[in-house]
Amino acid sequence: MENVKRVILCKYGEVALKGANRPQFEATMMRDLRRRASRIGSFDIYAAQSTVYIEPADDTSDIEEMYREAEHTFGFSGLCLAAVAEKTMESIKEIASFYLPQKLRGMETFKVEAKRADKRFPKKSPEIAAEVGEAVLASAPWLRVDLHSPDIVVTVEVRERGAYIHAGQERGAGGLPLGTNGRALLLLSGGIDSPVAGYMMMKRGVTVDAVHFESIPYTSEQARDKVLALASLLTDYCSSIRVHVISVTHIQEVLRDSCDNDYFTILLRRFMMALADRTARHTGAQALITGESLGQVASQTMHALAATDCMTTLPVFRPCIGMDKEEIITVSRKIGAFDTSILPYEDCCTVFTPPHPKTRPELSQVEEQERRVDFAALADEAWATRRTFFIRSGMEPREYTEKEEN
């Protein structure tokens, strides 16, 4: 038998529960898939029965590569790479006994489940399952049928355009389709937590821009490149990302020279929040995102969070707030960010850090410290240093000119 024709089935997650808005969500998921497909080859992409189908339109379009793209596309709870048969029992059995044995190597037991979405197909599901089971046993004699706890479940789906045969469904990226839930600005450091936070909000359908604060010469050019590299990794999940870079060098020097050392970090974070708020308003973001996790460090206690939250009236999303470091690292590895995150470059938050930062800063005392500096002037001056980088998926970061951005 020649090459079996294969198709990717992408099964809806939460989107299946959407009522009147569902077509809009579907359209967004398909657009996301088509954008990805256009870089790989030529594919037919269509939706039917809570599933999106991706079929190569010619022999040169790499379906395995497209599968990896589908794994990064939000909105799908399950994915499978299925063999396509004609809608006759002969074709289904022939394809199943050719395609499945290679997939079932190393397994001992299996079971066939049939789903007959096309009710015009003459055989009922149990009959289809029994016949396909027999055909598989004949071509893979090392297997046994186990209906209760099989090593693997083989599924035959008889649908509108054909019959699809696959051995097991893998998890999709989940979440909601990209761009269906507003725009937010991620405070992106070079650490482990903030890229994870950005990914988690993207997964909820949020379009994410980023802002990064640097402190050259106390932080290095490499530290900025690292942040741009992390943002690039996030573009596996979206089409592009804008990263705004703002220098807080002078703010840090003034805080170091004018304020009590114990308040340094919290005061710097208040500037960061105010500048993030300003960036968000400038770029049309409706919320901020940080990678904070409650109690992880002194600046992430409830007192400290309260003292930074009041610098913005936008909602601040902190998807890592209830996660411990291990859980955050698991996600970081999953999105492929971990190895970059642990590269040892300084972050502005680790420059001039006091040995004993206040863990319970009283707002009145923080404000008293802050009055020692000209907050508005320093914030304006930092704002003027803002540069914007645009990163399109699969491309190098490119700096925007002022005119392009506006």
CA–CA separation, 64 and 59 (whole Å): 12
**Looking at the DSSP assignment, which residues form a beta bridge with residue 244?**
211, 388
Residues ≥6 apart with Cβ < 8 Å to 3: none
* CA 306 and chain centroid, separation: 28
Measured from the CB atom, the residue of 158 and 348 that comes closer to ligand ATP is 348
Binding partner of 212, given Mg ion, ligand ATP, none, CB within 5-8 angstroms per partner class: ligand ATP
Q: Does 296 bind ligand ATP (CB under 6 A)?
A: yes
Binding footprint of Mg ion, residue count (CB under 5 A): 3
DSSP for residue 350: G
Q: What are the structure tokens assigned to 73, written together?
A: 């596309």
Structure-token match 């029992």, residue found: 89
| Torsion angles phi and psi, residue 353, rounded to 5 | -70, 140
| Site for ligand ATP contains 212 (CB under 6 A) | yes
Nearer to ligand ATP, 70 or 210 (CB): 210
Kindly tell me which of 4 and 297 has the beta carbon lying closer to ligand ATP: 297
Question: Taking CB under 5 A as the rule, does residue 205 contact Mg ion?
Answer: no
Closest distance to ligand ATP from the beta carbon of 217 (Å): 15
Nearest Cα to Cα of residue 242 among 379, 404, 384:
404
Stretch that binds Mg ion, among 39-47, 100-108, 165-173, 191-199 (CB under 5 A): 191-199
Strand arrangement of the beta sheet that strand 240-247 belongs to? 316-317, 287-289, 183-187, 207-214, 240-247, 387-392, 398-399
Among 69, 277, 292, 370, binds ligand ATP (CB under 6 A): 292
Token reading at 250: 């002078």
- In DSSP terms, 145 is beta-bridged to 110
Helix (H, G, I), strand (E, B) or coil at 125: helix
Q: Is 135 or 227 the residue whose CB approaches ligand ATP more closely?
A: 227
Choose one: 73-81, 88-96, 232-240, 341-349; the region binding ligand ATP (CB under 6 A): 341-349
- Could you tell me which stretch among 109-117, 128-136, 175-183, 289-297 binds ligand ATP (CB under 6 A)? 289-297
Least distance from C-beta 302 to ligand ATP, angstroms? Answer: 14
- Choose which of 155, 180, 189, 293 interacts with Mg ion (CB under 5 A): 189
Q: How far apart are CA 393 and CA 211, in angstroms?
A: 18
Under the binding rule (CB under 6 A), the answer on residue 393 touching ligand ATP is no
Q: b/e string for 345-382 if b means 16 or more Cβ within 10 A? A: eebbbebbbeeebbbebeeeebeebbeebebeebbeeb
The interface partner of residue 348, options being Mg ion, ligand ATP, none and the CB cut-off 5 to 8 Å by kind, is ligand ATP
**The entry of Mg ion, ligand ATP, none that residue 95 binds, CB within 5 to 8 Å by partner kind:** none
Spatial neighbors of 186 by CB under 8 A, at least 6 apart, are 194, 197, 198, 201, 208, 209, 210, 211, 288, 289, 290
Residues 6+ apart with CB under 8 A from 281: none
Min dist CB 184 to ligand ATP, Å, is 12
Candidates 10, 178, 187, 255: give the one binding ligand ATP (CB under 6 A): 187
CA 168/CA 162 separation, integer angstroms: 18
- Determine if 323 is a binding residue for ligand ATP (CB under 6 A): no
Handedness of CA 196, 197, 202, 203 (dihedral sign): positive
User: Smallest gap, in angstroms, from Cβ of residue 99 to ligand ATP?
Assistant: 45
Candidates 104, 132, 135, 192: give the one binding ligand ATP (CB under 6 A): 192
Asked if 193 touches ligand ATP (CB under 6 A), the answer is yes
The one segment of 48-56, 75-83, 86-94, 206-214 that binds ligand ATP by CB under 6 A:
206-214
Q: Considering only residues 343 through 362, tell me which ones interact with Mg ion, judged by CB under 5 A.
A: 347
At closest approach, how far in Å is the CB of 273 from ligand ATP?
9
191 binds ligand ATP (CB under 6 A): yes
Binding residues with ligand ATP: total (CB under 6 A): 20
Q: Does 97 help bind ligand ATP (rule: CB under 6 A)?
A: no
Q: Is 274 in the site for ligand ATP (CB under 6 A)?
A: no
Name the site residues for ligand ATP (rule: CB under 6 A). 187-189, 191-194, 211-213, 290-292, 296-297, 299-300, 347-349
